[in-house]
């Protein structure tokens, strides 16, 4: 039973309960401050602190309640666990957010929740808290809100106007995994709100005239191989749907029935997910009655009157890695399909951390798969910024990432036919594929070579990591070292360096971890306007 706690105790319980959620970004939306209100938002995002685990703290990440009728086996808050349960009132959520924000502790609020009574009523309470925060308290900082699978589309629709980002957790990479470990969730109850949010975002974007799809990294929408290229998106539709089990193979009748008794999970839904997808715009409704079409994309007058927009920073998701037996290949294909078919802004991976003992779960002494998680993020970066596709990185025959070298080096070593690349001639897409050349350096190379021919010292200045790139590049036809471009030779050269890094990733407690989470917003320069105000504020 829930007893009464002080605010401090509640905060301890409900931040403890929320810490396994990965996302803590505040990026993707620009909002100016406004007189009489509190807060603004800049699209690069700002991290405000770093915890003992080295993860950034950007948002006040809390659960509204950790009471939960769901019994997901891996979860600390599952119904069958005997843990202290607490619930914030909407007022408490608001004052914490406002007062923390004022003191520059946070960039905004990340609100998730356990499922109290049922998904719809849970989300209605979350809605109340956010409505109070945005409308009554006038909060203009960042808000990230979780969508609870199975909630009524109406509340998903309306809460989206109060949030900057929404996310519905995929939880596990496959429907089978979900059946095994999260009996109260199905692929369908997860993907339905995800689709609804996607369509809401698309509609909103068309309304304000910025194009249906989310912004992507430099030139990623045009490069021929990129997953964000419209052509690939269409070509891959069927495959992606099969991978995501949109055909319904992810949710079984039994799991739904069993669940339907305790919780109202839209039992009257007769239209299949894929059927609705083909039907187009009217997707997302959980119920097949009039409410679905009205709520999926219908008008929300209170929000429009206030000039609020729908989930402007886009949608993300996360899945647990290593609790079930998927290969890296399967995971990457799922991530890729989600980017392509759901236009997600980010897919997060969360290395499985054992908190519960259960026969369906890996043992309590299972180490956190740091290196695997790290490789998956590296590959995710290759998808989002470098124009790679999952199939280029892995295959059925080679389903897991190389532990010895990073995915980009690994790809290069298997495709020596492209190398060496001549820096002064190669196009942007190819430069991006050279190990040691990042997005910034590739862009700088393309710019700088207009003014003259580049040589190795120039590359170093530009920021190319020659330790890796040297083996794959020529400047004016010359290599940096006279070395044979052969797989064995190069592998040896590259792994000599990689070995130490690998050890560090696997042993974060003792050695420094790679700055993987060096998300773009960490080293952002102030904007031009900021500096202009600064330069002339004094005069």
Residues 32-91 that bind another protein (CB under 8 A): 32-40, 42, 46-57, 60-61
Which of 31-39, 296-304, 388-396, 401-409 is the region at the interface with another protein (rule: CB under 8 A)? Answer: 31-39
For residue 248, with 0-12 CB atoms within 10 Å meaning exposed, 13-18 middle and 19 or more buried, which class applies?
middle
Q: Does 447 bind another protein (CB under 8 A)?
A: yes
In the complex, least distance from residue 395 CB atom to another protein, rounded to whole angstroms:
31
**Quick one: 445 or 494, whose CB is closer to another protein?**
445
Rounded CA separation 349/375 (Å)? 10
In the complex, least distance from residue 388 CB atom to another protein, rounded to whole angstroms:
26
Tokens 């998904």 correspond to what residue?
A: 119
What residues have CB less than 8 Å from 306, skipping those under 6 apart? Answer: 135
Closest CA to 201 of 298, 311, 282: 311
In the complex, least distance from residue 152 CB atom to another protein, rounded to whole angstroms:
30
Report residue 225 CA to chain centroid gap: 21
**Quick one: 368 or 466, whose CB is closer to another protein?**
368
Rounded CA separation 141/102 (Å)? 10
* Cα–Cα separations (whole angstroms), residue 122 to 24, 194, 300, 345: 22, 17, 20, 25
Q: Does 534 bind another protein (CB under 8 A)?
A: yes
Q: Does 538 bind another protein (CB under 8 A)?
A: yes
Q: Does 291 bind another protein (CB under 8 A)?
A: no
In the complex, least distance from residue 521 CB atom to another protein, rounded to whole angstroms:
9
Which of 184-192, 419-427, 482-490, 527-535 is the region at the interface with another protein (rule: CB under 8 A)? Answer: 527-535
Judged by CB under 8 A, the residue of 1, 299, 484, 535 near another protein is 535
- Within 315-374, which residues bind another protein (CB under 8 A)? 353, 368
**Quick one: 273 or 505, whose CB is closer to another protein?**
505
In the complex, least distance from residue 66 CB atom to another protein, rounded to whole angstroms:
12
What residues have CB less than 8 Å from 357, skipping those under 6 apart? Answer: 364
Rounded CA separation 539/321 (Å)? 55
In the complex, least distance from residue 206 CB atom to another protein, rounded to whole angstroms:
29
Rounded CA separation 241/251 (Å)? 14
| Long-range own/partner contacts, residues 221-225 (CB < 8 A, 24 or more apart) | 223/387, 223/428, 223/429, 224/429, 225/387, 225/388, 225/389, 225/392, 225/429
- Within 399-428, which residues bind another protein (CB under 8 A)? none
In the complex, least distance from residue 507 CB atom to another protein, rounded to whole angstroms:
10
**Quick one: 190 or 454, whose CB is closer to another protein?**
454
- Within 262-281, which residues bind another protein (CB under 8 A)? none
- Encoded tokens for 381: 């970066």
Site size for another protein (CB under 8 A): 73
- Within 194-213, which residues bind another protein (CB under 8 A)? none
* Cα–Cα separations (whole angstroms), residue 101 to 41, 48, 504: 12, 10, 35
- Within 489-518, which residues bind another protein (CB under 8 A)? 508-509, 511-513, 515
- Within 95-154, which residues bind another protein (CB under 8 A)? 96, 99-105, 141
Q: What is the DSSP letter of 136?
A: I
**Quick one: 312 or 369, whose CB is closer to another protein?**
369
**Quick one: 278 or 447, whose CB is closer to another protein?**
447
In this structure, are residues 375 and 351 in contact, taking their beta carbons and an 8 Å threshold?
Answer: no
- Within 423-442, which residues bind another protein (CB under 8 A)? none
């Amino acid at each position: 039973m829930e007893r009464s706690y002080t605010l401090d105790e509640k905060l301890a319980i409900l931040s403890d309960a929320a810490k396994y959620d990965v996302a803590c970004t505040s990026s993707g939306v620009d909002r100016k401050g406004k007189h009489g209100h509190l807060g603004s938002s800049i699209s690069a995002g700002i991290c405000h602190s770093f915890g003992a685990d080295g993860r950034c703290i950007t948002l006040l990440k809390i659960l509204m309640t950790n009471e939960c009728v769901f019994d997901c086996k891996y979860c600390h808050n599952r119904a069958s666990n005997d843990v202290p349960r607490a619930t914030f009132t909407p007022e408490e959520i608001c004052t914490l957010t406002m007062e923390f924000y004022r003191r520059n502790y946070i960039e905004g609020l990340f609100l998730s929740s356990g499922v109290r009574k049922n998904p719809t009523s849970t989300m209605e309470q979350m809605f109340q808290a956010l409505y109070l925060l945005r409308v009554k308290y006038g909060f203009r900082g960042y808000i990230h809100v979780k969508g609870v699978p199975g909630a009524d589309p109406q509340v998903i629709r309306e809460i989206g106007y109060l949030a900057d980002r929404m996310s519905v957790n995929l939880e596990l990479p496959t429907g089978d995994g979900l059946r095994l470990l999260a009996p109260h969730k199905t692929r369908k109850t997860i993907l339905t709100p995800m689709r609804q949010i996607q369509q809401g975002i698309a509609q909103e974007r068309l309304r304000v005239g910025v194009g249906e799809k989310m912004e992507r990294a430099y030139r990623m929408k045009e490069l021929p191989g990129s997953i964000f290229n419209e052509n690939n998106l269409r070509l891959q539709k069927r495959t992606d749907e099969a991978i995501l089990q949109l055909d319904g193979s992810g949710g079984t009748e039994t799991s739904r029935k069993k669940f339907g008794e305790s919780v109202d999970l839209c039992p009257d839904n007769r239209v299949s997910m894929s059927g609705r997808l083909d039907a187009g715009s009217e997707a997302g409704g959980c119920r097949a009655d009039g409410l679905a079409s009205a709520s999926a994309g219908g008008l929300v007058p209170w929000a429009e009157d206030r000039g609020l927009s729908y989930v402007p920073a886009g949608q993300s998701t996360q899945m647990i890695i290593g609790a079930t037996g998927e290969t890296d290949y399967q995971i990457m294909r799922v991530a890729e399909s989600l980017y392509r078919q759901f236009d997600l802004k980010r897919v997060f991976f969360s290395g499985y951390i054992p908190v519960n003992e259960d026969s369906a779960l890996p043992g309590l002494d299972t180490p956190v798969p740091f290196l695997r998680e790290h490789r998956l993020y590296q590959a995710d970066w290759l998808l989002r910024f470098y124009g790679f596709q999952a199939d280029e990185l892995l295959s059925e025959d080679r389903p897991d990432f190389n532990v010895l070298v990073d995915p980009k080096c690994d790809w290069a070593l298997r495709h020596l036919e492209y190398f060496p690349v001549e820096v002064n001639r190669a196009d942007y897409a190819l430069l991006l594929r050279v190990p040691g050349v990042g997005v910034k350096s590739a862009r700088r190379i393309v710019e700088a070579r207009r003014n003259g021919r580049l040589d190795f010292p120039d590359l170093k200045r530009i920021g190319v990591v020659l330790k890796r790139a040297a083996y794959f590049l020529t400047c004016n036809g010359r290599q940096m070292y006279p070395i044979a471009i052969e797989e064995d030779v190069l592998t040896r050269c590259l792994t000599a360096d990689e070995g130490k890094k690998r050890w560090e990733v696997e042993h974060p407690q003792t050695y420094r971890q790679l700055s993987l989470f060096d998300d773009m917003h960490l080293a952002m320069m102030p904007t031009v306007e900021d500096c202009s105000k600064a330069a002339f504020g004094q005069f």
